[in-house]
Structure 1
Amino acid sequence: MQLLTYPRETISLDGTWQAIPDQYETFEGYFEDFFGDDSDNPTGFAPKPIYEPDASIENDPVDFNIHDGRSVEIPSSWGEEIPEFRHYEGWVWYAKTFDWTAEQGNNRAFVRFGAINYKAKVWLNGELLGSHEGGYTPFSFDVTGELQDGENTLIVQADSKRYEDGIPNEDTDWFNFGGVNRSVELVTVPNTFVRNYKIETTLSGGTVDIHVSAWIENSTPETAISVAFPELNRDIELSRVGEDEFTGELSLSEADVTLWRPSEPRLYTIRLETGDDVVADEVGLRDVRVSGSDIVLNGEPIWLRGIALHEEADGKGRALDSKDIKARFRWMNELGCNYARLAHYPHTEEMARTADEEGILLWEEVPAYWDIEFGDESVQTLYRQQLRELIQRDWNRASVILWSIANETDHNDETRNAVLPEMADYVRELDDTRLVTAACFVDDTDDGLVIRDPLGDHLDVVGINEYHGWYYGSADDMQRFQETPNGPPVLISETGGGAKRGYHGDGDERWTEEFQAEIYRGQIAAAKDNEQIAGLSPWILFDFRAPMRQNEHQRGYNRKGIVDQHGRKKKAFHVLREFYHTDHSG
């Protein structure tokens, strides 16, 4: 169960760390193996492993010093902090010393990492805390017994290599930013505390039904937990339903509640209390479901006016700050969006929390991208882990309405077709109050464009990625999409084309802003009148780094953005803005 962190007071370990690249993967275990123990080492020279707090001292003849590496700011992507390592993939060791006294915290303490790409091992004061795989989701370790009064040394081994049996695997169409890309925190809690909670809202006959679950660590038979909604003047006591899980329900008249929606993103305080632990958070109350080919929010169909985006900022890699996040929402609001697809992996938690405040609905996904090893049991375990870590992090965000389980995977692969429905079921086990989707392909047949992917039968909403007018066909070919009466809602999860900002020409000249704008005009004409299409999120908000994109117009960037990497708008931005402000205003 994910450790609830964001609403708590925490001790930041961000700031200046020391970083040491280890291209040959030498510094873990090598010296023990090379020199052996004292009886086998007549020289008396036996350097300590890098994760020991005193691994190197002044004047030692060693080739690294954890206290005097390259100074970097955390969070950061190391290729942006150390430009000569921009294309380096491998191990980097990070070190941070900090002072601690028992008076600083409660009975229990955890160190929590927002994300490290891609694998991580962590030591505190020379003791291995554990490891984690997955470059975009948070993880934590209990350090209650490892913290020392006085100086402490935290060591992280970050491995950014791409793996054939990873998620994602070796091939992606985005840049592999290695590093401690999100914040590091110390979290202190009482011995008995709220590890996580979940709020679920459903509407029924004018009633707002609220179900609250909470997971209490180190509970006893006497443990009690109360939940209050101060603005609604309601509170409940939760009942134990398992060893550490407690649940409760309350019902309100819809007339007494302002339901969360894009046009009015009302948030209410929820306060959970057990013993000495109190957690307060801000949540929205809303209901999302599917009815026929419609996505229905709070009982009303909604057409999703969206855009897709990566988590990247020029010169910062994947280590976004609040200013970067605000810029994204400023662009989305200017476009007239009520929805965004956060591709192709979990973005920082602050995106979802800001979306709650701004009224932007979200599609969130894990990087089950292209050709991962679906039949490998260890990959399936990792797959579930990444889904669980994302969902348990963001399942209280009203803005999140779509969990996506895959992107552009081969629907002719029988193994994939057996595994992905299992992943859809797993998502529903974790959270059945949101919609399950995936970005699939559309097939071109003599009868028109149709969805033949068998995964569609297991999804609530079917996403389709199509690039008519760019890679094939004409931009308005989606007019040939064959509607299925009472079929599931379809989102055009990707569409668009490339343009170099400032490069102009005729509307039929590829890579010009005019060519890209014409693609958008054709796609809009095709999408807006199809009854089964419930929205779109064109690819993509801004240009982003992509190693496979190397022609004269790209030079390492995917140029499908309607804004370039410096924030300058292209003509397609204004085409999409006009559509969103004049059509499908729900």
Structure 2
Amino acid sequence: MRSLYLTVIITVASTIVYAQTPLITNIAGRKTTSLNGKWQYIIDPYGTGFYDYRFLERKENDREAYWNTDVPENKTDRKEHKFTDEYTLNVPGDWNSQAEKFLYYEGIVWYKKSFDFTKANSTDKVYLYFGASNYETDVYLNGKKLGKHKGGFTPFNFEVPDSVLKATGNYLVVKVDNTRHKDEVPTVNTDWWNYGGITRDVQLVEVPPAFIRDFTLQVQKGAALKTMKNVPVEGWVNVKDWQNTREVTVELPELKIKKIFPVTGERVNLRFNLPAMQLWSPQTPKLYTVVVSNGADRIEEKIGFRTIEVAGKQVLLNGKPLFMRGICMHEEIPQQIRRAYSKQDALQLLGYAKELGCNMVRLAHYPHNENMSRTADSMGILVWSEIPVYWTIDFTSAEVFNKARTQLTEMITRDRNRASIIIWSVGNETPVKPARTAFMRNLISAAKSLDSTRLVSAALEVNYQAGVSKIDDPLGEFVDIVSFNEYLGWYAGLPDRCRTAQWEFAYDKPFFISETGAETLYGFHGDSLTRWSEEYQEWYYREQVAMFKRMPENFAGLSPWLLCDFRSPRRNNQTFQEGWNNKGLIDQQGRKKKAFYVLKGYYEEKGL
């Protein structure tokens, strides 16, 4: 039965494509034109701009389709849609935080951006790149459909035909629909706010016909780093229109390295040694400029070189034992009740983590903005990056698997050169059953085929039984590090239950506590037994820390739930929640709760 299921997934998944692939990477290092700023919008809860009155998708030249011009030909021309500057939204940005009428809105919003554009070089190709848009996105330029994408947290791009793009008077129309559906990833049931909109940058990217679409370079897997001299590195360069490219050059100017490789196919394999160098780590987040060129195209990227692996019961970073002092975080700025998107937002959130004493963050429960991973690179913060395979998606569906695998591919493609990312996660708290295990095992295999240099994990659940906490999920056999979410003292008894907790592990691997936490409202005080009080959360963390100190030797770290309070429509205690999950160590106004300092003290001790 299992083999049949896997075959069906592979067969069906290969036929479903939601956006043009493969993805262009290193957008920051290319010639771009930003389309950020004010966009006009129309709220369309019935999908009138997309469907006719028989609920059939409108044809491309349908005058009433919202992707076609809203300008009447004459005074008798009937137009039943109109974009205007009286109704605008900021891009990037979620719509929920920009007007009160959007607060709980889930559905379709049409965006329109008018612009002029002239290519720097007449022979260049132009791509339209979206950092992310939640969730289902249909893109039209000057009345022509460029394509469609599903997934709210990963980038996508479309090539823009020369016949469509104009020097003046372009109008880009984007239909964004954040409606939740059972057969999507994530599904209808989540514990975070479903922010809708074009939430990340939109850019036009200019490249020559034969351009470097993607590349990667990292320390060779399994390399013995006894010294920092002659370090073997390997990777590849992906060249578009490779038939017109003779060679690829890779340079690291600081190390006086210049290597030339012949081009005999779309992918050019790289392998060479680096001289005396400094490895990337949280203590020394050294980044080297890497220049890749092919004559027509030249891109630069900042890359840190390091190794991450499991050896026996330990996680090793650059060959040395690593204890991850982590924290979970959502991509949200609580003080402004909005989706985070900018470098400044990343600096704020990662700055909080640094102050807490963290050397690692778990980005929950979806890939965060590229600004986050790039900032983590420069700040020296390790990263767990995850796709939103969350709780109860349809694990029997080949189409759902394809959606998950597509998001996994887009996440890894975008961030494979980020030294900070050491763990790819394929999901969170998924129910134990055969179909789910096959589904997740396939995702793990896909992650390893896309990137064999990092660890792969998933946040599992604890099996609480008569005083014994068992970690026996069958998925543990396939992950590199066994990670689980435990809430002894919040969802299971009181915090003093930690004192008698017994742990049983079915797998002889390093283990990681991917979540633990208790909810409290900042400023509400009582004794330690009073739920929702700061004192209860403080007690919870004191008991948890004491338990951590008694954990077995294969305890590799933790990422408590979580850094900051965040919005969630599941949290409806009108006294203590009011639509917020308040398990944060920092509250909605950026104020630190008492438990912040308990965890900070533990991390300071572990960091010695």
TM-score, with normalisation over the residues of structure 2? 0.90
Contact between 1:32 and 1:49, CA under 8 Å: does it hold in 2? no
1:56-455 equivalence runs, <5 A? 56=72, 61-68=78-85, 70-103=87-120, 107-145=124-162, 146-202=164-220, 203-206=223-226, 207-220=230-243, 222-240=245-263, 243-253=265-275, 256-314=276-334, 315=336, 317-411=338-432, 413-446=433-466, 448-455=468-475
Letter in 2 for 1:51: W
Contact 1:67 1:95 in 2 (8 A): no
Match of 1:40 in 2: none
What amino acid does structure 1 have at the position aligned with 2:200?
R
Provide the residue aligned with 1:43 in structure 2: none
- SS of the counterpart of 1:10? strand
What is the CA distance between 1:224 and its match in structure 2? 1.2
> 484-493 or 127-136, which moves further after superposition?
484-493
**SS of corresponding position for 2:545:** helix
| Cα distance change, pair 33–418 in 1 and its aligned pair in 2 (3 A) | closer
Matches within 5 A, 1:431-580: 431-446=451-466, 448-475=468-495, 477=497, 480-482=501-503, 484=505, 487-530=508-551, 531-551=553-573, 552-580=575-603
In structure 2, distance between residues paired with 1:546 and 1:237: 52
Alignment check: 8 A CA contact 2:64 2:81 kept? no
* Equivalent AA in structure 2 for residue 272 of structure 1: V
CA contact (8 A) 1:267 1:282 kept: yes
SS of residue matched to 2:536? helix
Q: Secondary structure of the residue that 2:563 maps to in structure 1?
A: coil
1: CA distance, partners of 2:209 / 2:483 = 45
**C-alpha displacement at 1:57, in angstroms?**
6.8
For residues 97-138 of structure 1, the C-alpha deviation after alignment (integer angstroms, 9 at most, x for no partner) is: 000123477610001001110000000011000000000000
Deviation by residue 1:348-378 (Cα, 9 ceiling, x = unmatched):
0010000000000000000000000111011
| 2:343 and 2:372 in contact (8 A); partners too | no
Taking only the aligned residue pairs, the percentage that are identical comes to 39
**SS at the partner of 1:215?**
strand
Contact 1:341–1:362 under 8 Å retained in 2:
yes
Partner Cα separation in structure 2 for residue 238 and residue 163 of structure 1: 47
Task: Report the equivalent of 2:605.
Answer: 582
- The Cα offsets for residues 537-583 of structure 1, whole Å up to 9 and x where unpaired, read as 00010000000101020000000000012211100111111111122
Unpaired stretches in structure 1, ≥5 consecutive residues? 38-45
- Kept in 1: contact 2:472–2:505 (CA 8 A): no
CA distance in 2, matches of 1:509, 1:144: 63
**1:220-248 deviations in Å (ceiling 9; x for gaps):** 1643111111111112223446x411111
Aligned residues of 1:110 and 1:188 also touching (Cα < 8 A): yes
Secondary structure, in 3 states, of the residue corresponding to 2:23? coil
Counterpart secondary structure, 2:289: strand
The answer to whether the 8 Å contact 1:259/1:266 transfers is yes
Secondary structure at the aligned position of 1:470 is classed as: coil
Contact map agreement 1:19 1:69 (CA 8 A) in 2 = no
Indicate the SS of the match to 1:81.
coil
CA distance in 1, matches of 2:86, 2:185: 30
* Deviates most, 330-339 or 201-210: 201-210
SS at the partner of 1:523?
helix
- CA drift of 1:532 comes to 2.0
Report the number of matched residues.
Answer: 572
* C-alpha spacing 1:22/1:357, structure 2 compared with 1 (3 Å): same
The answer (yes or no) to whether the contact 1:483–1:532 under 8 Å persists in 2 is no
Corresponding residue SS for 2:326: strand
| Cα distance, 1:30 vs structure 2 | 2.2
Aligned counterpart, 2:66: 50
Question: Is the Cα contact below 8 Å between 2:64 and 2:79 reproduced in 1?
Answer: no
What is the SS of the residue equivalent to 1:238?
Answer: strand
Shift of the 251–454 alpha-carbon distance from structure 1 to 2, 3 Å rule, reads: same
Alpha carbons of structure 1 residues 108 and 303: separation in structure 2 relative to 1, 3 Å: same
Q: CA deviation at 1:426?
A: 0.7
Q: Measure, in 1, the Cα distance between the counterparts of 2:245 and 2:190.
A: 51
Q: Aligned letter for 1:195?
A: R
Moved more, 521-530 or 337-346: 521-530
1:15 aligned residue (25, 34, 37)? 37
- In structure 1, C-alpha distance between the alignment counterparts of 2:132 and 2:74, rounded to whole Å: 32
| Whole-angstrom distance in 2 between the partners of 1:495 and 1:163 | 29
Coordinate RMSD, CA, aligned: 2.1
How far apart, in 2, do the equivalents of 1:196 and 1:429 lie? 16
| CA positional deviation for 1:64 | 2.3
